[in-house]
A and B are shown apart, each in its own frame.
Chain A
Amino acid sequence: MHLANYLGYLHKAELHLAKAFREVGEGHAAEADIYHACNTLAQQCKAHAGKLGPFVERYGEEAPAEPDRLYHELFGGTRSGGLGLLRDLQDLYLMANACDISWTMIGQAGQGVRDEDLLEVVDSCEGQTATQIKWLKTRMKQAAPQALLVAS
């Protein structure tokens, strides 16, 4: 049974995403909306990881190294300026998508083992992850023309 592997992956990925949201928020604090939204979403990710806790105990956690790699490859500290913001949001976007697809996979497995508790957690979290992605896309679409065409 490899559910433990995916649980470990997602648990770690959510914690990394929380950290990354917080770093991007701090790094771009002059963008007031980025600062507050990133902090809110960092808390959400942390809560997601917390909700996975009991299942990590139930199924065991085989934490693979991939989320670490993803985090470190994408995230060597925040960048500055309009383009930097766009790139940082894009990294968050990729990391959030890694979480998103993991929620889907865990939801599939949860149905397979008929674990109602796990399905409830998936149900309450995967929508939030989807909204995180939607927010990132919204904000990036807004920022892109200015950052790519006129920012110095």
Chain B
Amino acid sequence: MTDRIANPWGERTPFGMDGEWPVRVDRFLENGVSEDDVDRWVQTASILHSNGDALDIAVKDGRIVGVRGRGVDRVNKGRVDPKDLFGWQANNSEDRLRRPLVRKGGELVEASWDEAMDKIVDRSKALLAEKGPLSMGFYTTGQLFLEEYYTLGVIGKAGLGTPHMDGNTRLCTATAGQALKETFGTDGQPGSYADIDHADAILHFGHNMAETQAVTWMRVLDRLAGPNPPRLVVVDPRPTPVTRAATVHLAVKSGTNVALLNAFLHEIIENGLFNEEYVRAHTIGFDELKQTVAECTPEWAAEVCGVEADDIRVAARILGESERLLSTALQGVYQSHQATAAACQINNLHLLRGMLGRPGCGVLQFNGQPTAQNTRETGADGDLPGFRNWDNKEHVQELADLWKVDRIKIPHWAPPTHAMQIWRYAEQGSIEFLWISGTNPAVSLPELHRIRDILKQENLFVVVQDIFLTETARLADVVLPAATWGEKTGTYTNTDRTVHLSEAAVSPPGEAKHDLDIFLEYAERMDLKDNDGEPLIKWRHPEEAFEAWKECTRGRPCDYTGITYEKLRGGSGVQWPCNDEHPDGTERLYADGDFNTRTEDCETYGHDLLTGAVNTENDHRAMKPAGRAFLKAAAYTPPHEEPGEEYPFRLNTGRTIYHFHTRTKTARAPQLQNAAPDVWVEIHPSDAEALGVEEGDVVRVESPRGRLEAKARICWIREGVVFAPFHYGYFDEPGKDSPDDHPRAANELTITEWDPVSKQPLFKAGAVKVTKLTNVNGGPAPAPTTTASAPVTDVYVPETVGGKDAEVVESVGGE
């Protein structure tokens, strides 16, 4: 038994290069339940992060009583992330939403489904008649299922005809998708998690994999514990479990990623460590890239990034001399200034070295949320489904034919409206209807006072579809109670394109409905029809929706046509593309160096990385990419808001392993909640000393936008940087949705700004000041000691443990 709060990654199962990652099946059942008591095990996958770990749900007497990993699955070989081991308990919470709510006389009161849906439909029809579809917006999540997103996408695009659809995936995964499109022509992850088994060097850029994809980090740890371990280059301003395992750790100043990456590329080009033949045959743009990085010496980058030039040189050597290089990136890249530009340079590293499509040679531009990949595929993030190009009339026509609607009905006159613009239109009053599903923008978006004000606007009709009365739901006009994971059936796809089936194990509470059924009911009540006068949405069940989706992907890079629910049952998840040509799926893309960049195929004609200006079809054609990848160059530019006299610190926000998103589920799992019960602020010892702050003192962090109050954790974060986790809101505080007494959401501080290309907001940017409020009175900061928030060693802080309630069975080899 392992206390998986105290030891989140469990016992090691070492293996060597090119070996098989051993199976280790993790199992956790609620107190008093033994394996013999379980009535049945129901197949699913993780819904609390993007790794896509395959699990089975234990059901007893119609209740979920635990989980175990699926040893047969390629992604996790039986291992389970701590969030999944314990997070399922939220399903059984007493305070789940059970009936619809509607606002009457300023209060949310219980209502029937008929009444709630009537309100939504009446408002929709009135707005469509009066102002048209541009007055309606949809803001979804990265946590619904593929079938639900696709249905929502068809309703929005072919039924209503609005371009205003996006997900909170804009906050976590937009840059990953965009960088893949810019470089390779379409979205789609080139690499595979199995590249970890074969790599001799791994670059983790802005990626605390230990906490964000704990199971894949176990795979890295097992390689590190075995023979011939890979060398690790890690870029992160915080000391994390990943940086502690690094061969070279570069703790750059936030906002300087492009400078460091350009120095890497400079070293590789200067020292002739690039694959000239591959570059010539499979890429375009080398001369401009070479020119752009010509002056980017390690000394120059050292000055910009605040790290040692020699460390940059050593890191560049590792990257340049590796024979099998894997790179992974996450929010340190995506939520920073110059996000897409930086992510493209990581792709460039692999193109220069010709390291794609072979075992151990891959890029994994990670996703943040479990089903983020599916918002990108299905178009629930505004893109056209099947990685189609909104600016390609043929692509739009294919959808029009598939859905039997006129092409002009489908919005394709401009890029889809990104989330921050949807909120801006709502603020300005031109969007008057906003349907929010499965997300909590009142805690997760930047500059929260503004978001709360928008949600409270008189003329904005807000629908919230969720499983709890979140901070956002409290501000809605109609609240729809939804079923969640374990209570509904559908599929979703992880970062490395592995598709999993998640089956309903138990019934939803009260009158809560499946998200798919909610969307279907809306489509029916809105009387959405195709050109034949038939219902626009022709499916009633998840499997039918999946079959319809498959048709939409036929011949596209994300081809699902070879996958069926039956194929996904019992065995491992399957990686798309899966079709007649690849009946068992495809482990790695671009093995032949042939990319999806032909003008007819590509998902975008490309953007200028500095401004986000869109290339035209003719611009694209003139470049004659013809299957070659784009080496897109970008010069470093400094962030817009730098620390100064009034606000001397850089702000960084992020996650801890124990929580997901805004804690709507994880706060309701006692083991997870107790491990990280409240917000904290991380600060370097010398900064703390200058402020007279000791471990556990309450500090106020202020930006030009708001303030946060929290206990200080003194740790080895980079000097001049403060970090706050973004998980904490107000639903479990006495004042509920009010930040007045105890502002503890990190997004009170964050800036309204986004990357010009991916439109991903900058959660790791901006300047703040820190002041001490009170001396230690209630012990140390409530930050875990097991992770990036580990305290400096000379201060006594009790270890984070889970005790008996967090003991997990780990069976190496299975059983």
Give the B-binding residues of A (Cβ under 8 A).
30-33, 36-37, 39-41, 81-82, 131-132, 134-135, 137-138, 141-142, 144-146, 149-152
Contacts and interface: CB of A to CB of B under 8 A. Distances in A.
Contact of B135 (A40, A131, A150): A150
Contacts of A31: 424
B149 interface: no
Nearest to B127: A150
Interface string B747-779: 000001110100000000000000000000000
A145 B414 contact: yes
Most A-side CB within 10 Å, residue of B132, B414, B425: B414
A138 B613 CA distance: 6
A40 B637 contact: yes
Which of A135, A141, A146 has its CB near the most chain B CB atoms (within 10 A)? A146
A33 B754 contact: yes
B424 A151 contact: no
A152 B428 CA distance: 9
B611 interface: yes
Nearest to B615: A134
Contacts, number: 72
B134 A141 contact: no
B811 interface: no
B134 A37 contact: no
Given A142-B415, A145-B413, A150-B132, A40 B611 contact: yes
Nearest to A81: B428
Contacts of A144: 414
A80 B415 CA distance: 24
7 contacts: A33-B756, A37-B756, A40-B611, A134-B614, A146-B425, A150-B134, A150-B135
B608 A141 contact: no
Contacts of B314: none
A131 B613 contact: yes
B613 A135 contact: yes
Interface of B: 131-132, 134-135, 163, 413-415, 417, 420-421, 424-425, 428-431, 608, 610-615, 637, 640, 752-754, 756
A151 B752 contact: no
Contact of B430 (A37, A132, A150): A150
A135 B608 contact: yes
A135 B611 CA distance: 6
B413 A40 contact: no
A40 B134 contact: no
A32 B430 contact: no
The 8 closest A-B pairs by CB, nearest first: A135-B613, A134-B613, A135-B611, A138-B614, A142-B414, A150-B430, A150-B134, A151-B430
B50 to A, nearest CB: 27
Contacts of A141: 413-414
Given A146-B134, A146-B430, A138 B753 contact: no
Contacts of B612: 33, 37, 135, 138
Nearest to A138: B614
Given A141-B413, A152-B429, 8 more contacts: A30-B424, A31-B424, A40-B610, A41-B611, A135-B611, A141-B414, A150-B131, A150-B135
Given A138-B612, A146-B425, A32 B415 contact: no
Nearest to B619: A134
A97 to B, nearest CB: 15
B753 A131 contact: no
Contacts of B608: 131, 134-135
B389 to A, nearest CB: 15
**Chain B: interface secondary structure?**
loop
A32 B753 contact: yes
Contacts of A37: 611-612, 756
A115 B612 CA distance: 33
Contact of B132 (A39, A41, A149): A149
A104 to B, nearest CB: 17
A46 B559 CA distance: 49
A51 to B, nearest CB: 16
Most buried by A among B608, B611, B613: B611
Given A134-B614, A150-B134, A82 B430 contact: yes
A82 B425 CA distance: 9
A148 B131 CA distance: 11
Nearest to B425: A146
Contacts of A145: 134, 163, 413-414
A152 B135 CA distance: 11
A23 B613 CA distance: 20
Contacts of B753: 32-33, 36
Contacts of B425: 146
A141 B412 CA distance: 11
Contacts of B428: 81-82, 151
A39 B641 CA distance: 13
A32 B637 contact: no
B44 to A, nearest CB: 39
A132 to B, nearest CB: 8
B420 A32 contact: yes
Nearest to B163: A145
Nearest to B762: A32
A70 B417 CA distance: 33
Contacts of A81: 428
Contacts of B610: 40, 131
A74 B255 CA distance: 37
Nearest to B755: A33
Contacts of B414: 141-142, 144-145
A82 B431 CA distance: 12
Contacts of A149: 131-132, 134
A89 to B, nearest CB: 13
A116 B132 CA distance: 56
Contacts of A36: 640, 753, 756
A104 B786 CA distance: 62
Contacts of A135: 608, 611-613
A46 B141 CA distance: 42
Contacts of B415: 138, 142
A40 B638 CA distance: 11
Contacts of B756: 33, 36-37
A152 B134 CA distance: 13
A124 B279 CA distance: 25
A98 B571 CA distance: 64
Contacts of A137: 613
Nearest to B417: A142
A129 to B, nearest CB: 12
A110 B287 CA distance: 24
Nearest to A141: B414
Contacts of B134: 145-146, 149-150
A131 B756 CA distance: 13
Contacts of B131: 149-150
A91 B421 CA distance: 22
B752 A32 contact: yes
Contacts of A30: 424
Contacts of B615: 134
Nearest to A142: B414
Given A37-B756, A145-B134, A131 B611 contact: yes
Contacts of B614: 134, 138
Contacts of A131: 608, 610-611, 613
B748 to A, nearest CB: 17
